[in-house]
Amino acid sequence: STAGYSYEKYNSWEKISEWAESMATENPTLVTKTQIGQTFEGRHMVLLKLGKNTGFAKPAIFMDCGIHAREWISPAFCQWFVKEAVTSYGSDPAMTSLLNNMDVFVLPVFNIDGYVYTWTRDRMWRKTRSKNSGTTCVGTDPNRNFDAGWCTVGASKQPCSETYCGSRVESEIEVKAVADFIRKNRSIIKAYLTIHSYSQLLLFPYSYTTDLAAHHSELLDIARSASNALYSLYGTRYTSGPGAVTIYPAAGGSDDWAYDLGIKYSFTFELRDEGRFGFLLPESQIKPTCEETMLAVKYIATYVQEHN
């Protein structure tokens, strides 16, 4: 049962996996659990589809959490979002309208093997856990492994590096599974959101080039408005803009790839904080962080719904 589940603690993959199963069982008209593939170590990649069953395919938003293993606040947010969707459907007009008219695909943990490794072996692990030939160094940075200017800038060709881009585009089985799912559902996916930490940023394409995206002005307006919505709750300041010029150039990122695939509303969140805790954000900050992030995500979701 999800009754005793704590959204204000960091949860192990085992708990998250059981929670996802219970969510789908307890909310059959609103939540559907599917598997989009397996990880390198053979774990099931669980995807939750949130949305009122209508019998036909609706336009959708895809959101993933936990691309980088050590960014624990990210999966915590995906769990929070699902909980909010289920509990506020029927009472919150914005969420009700969203789930009546669109579906939201939530990938609670993208890099499951890495997440498990941070729980059991090395809290600061970042990459996947795939083996690399010719070296004892393990793992690839999944956010350097997408087909978006792959390995041209801000990524490393060295397997021991934390930003290793992989042996080829989509070499990581997890990246290929996500890319295949999005490609397969390209016609209905209208927005792509990816949740990271930390730095308090709301970024959009491009990161692999300093060129501005074709929809730069609109994306900037959305990002600024979403950041303002987030700020309104606890006064947390976010910086928004295209990745390459707002922070630094980095190729192979999922948001750039999704945008180039034709998903216009493509955003990367970098959640709290600005470095005091970094990847070790205390559990006492999960609630306020998720509450304020909900405002920004709901702003974007509403915008997409209205402009679809």
Partner 1 sequence: GPSTSRFDGVKVFRLKPDNEYHVNEIKNLAEKIKLNFWNPEGADQVTSHLNVDVQVNDEDVLLVKDLLQRSGMEYEVLIEDLQKAIERQFDNKHR
Q: From the candidates 270, 274, 283, 292, which is the catalytic residue? A: 270
Beta strand 265-271 with 60-65: parallel, antiparallel or unpaired? unpaired
Task: List the 201-204 sheet strands across, edge first.
Answer: 31-38, 44-50, 103-107, 60-65, 189-197, 265-271, 201-204, 239-242
- Concatenated DSSP letters of 202-244: EEES-SS-SSPPTTHHHHHHHHHHHHHHHHHHH----EEEEHH
120 contributes a contact to partner 1 by CB under 8 A: yes
Q: What's the closest the beta carbon of residue 290 comes to partner 1, in angstroms?
A: 13
Report in angstroms how near the CB of residue 289 gets to partner 1 at its nearest. 13
Work out the number of other CB atoms within 10 angstroms of the CB of residue 150: 19
Strand partners, 240: 202
One character per residue 141-160, x = contact with partner 1 (rule: CB under 8 A): x------------x-x----
| Rounded least distance, CB 150 to partner 1, Å | 15
Q: What share of the chain is helix, strand, coil (3-state, %, to 5)?
A: 40, 20, 45
The single residue listed with the structure tokens 């990847």 is: 279
Interface characters, 236-255, with partner 1 (x: CB under 8 A): -----------xxxx-----
The stretch among 25-33, 102-110, 114-122, 187-195 that binds partner 1 (CB under 8 A) is 114-122
Identify the residue among 1, 91, 136, 284 touching partner 1 (CB under 8 A).
284
DSSP state of 70: T
Smallest separation (angstroms) from partner 1 to the CB of 154: 6
Is residue 276 near partner 1 by the rule CB under 8 A?
yes
Please tell me whether residue 21 binds partner 1 under the rule CB under 8 A.
Answer: no
Q: Which of 14, 21, 26, 122 forms a contact with partner 1 (CB under 8 A)?
A: 122
270 is catalytic: yes
Q: How far is the CB of 242 from partner 1 (least distance, A)?
A: 15
Alpha-carbon separation of residue 300 from 68, 76, 101, 305, 307 (angstroms): 23, 19, 15, 9, 10
Closer to partner 1 by Cβ: residue 143 or 305: 143
Give the phi and the psi of residue 115 in degrees, each rounded to 5. -65, -45
Q: How far is CA 142 from the centre of its chain?
A: 12
From CA 191, how far away is CA 258, in angstroms rounded? 9
Q: Give bridge partners of residue 266 from the DSSP assignment.
A: 192
Dist CA 74 CA 277 (whole Å)? 14
Nearer to partner 1, 69 or 95 (CB): 69
- Residue 199 beta carbon to partner 1: minimum distance, rounded to whole angstroms: 6
**Binding flags for partner 1, 188-207, as an x/- string (CB under 8 A):** ----------xx--------
| Catalytic residue set | 270
Q: Which residues make up the interface to partner 1 (CB under 8 A)?
A: 6, 8-10, 72, 118-124, 141, 154, 156, 161-163, 198-199, 247-250, 275-284, 286
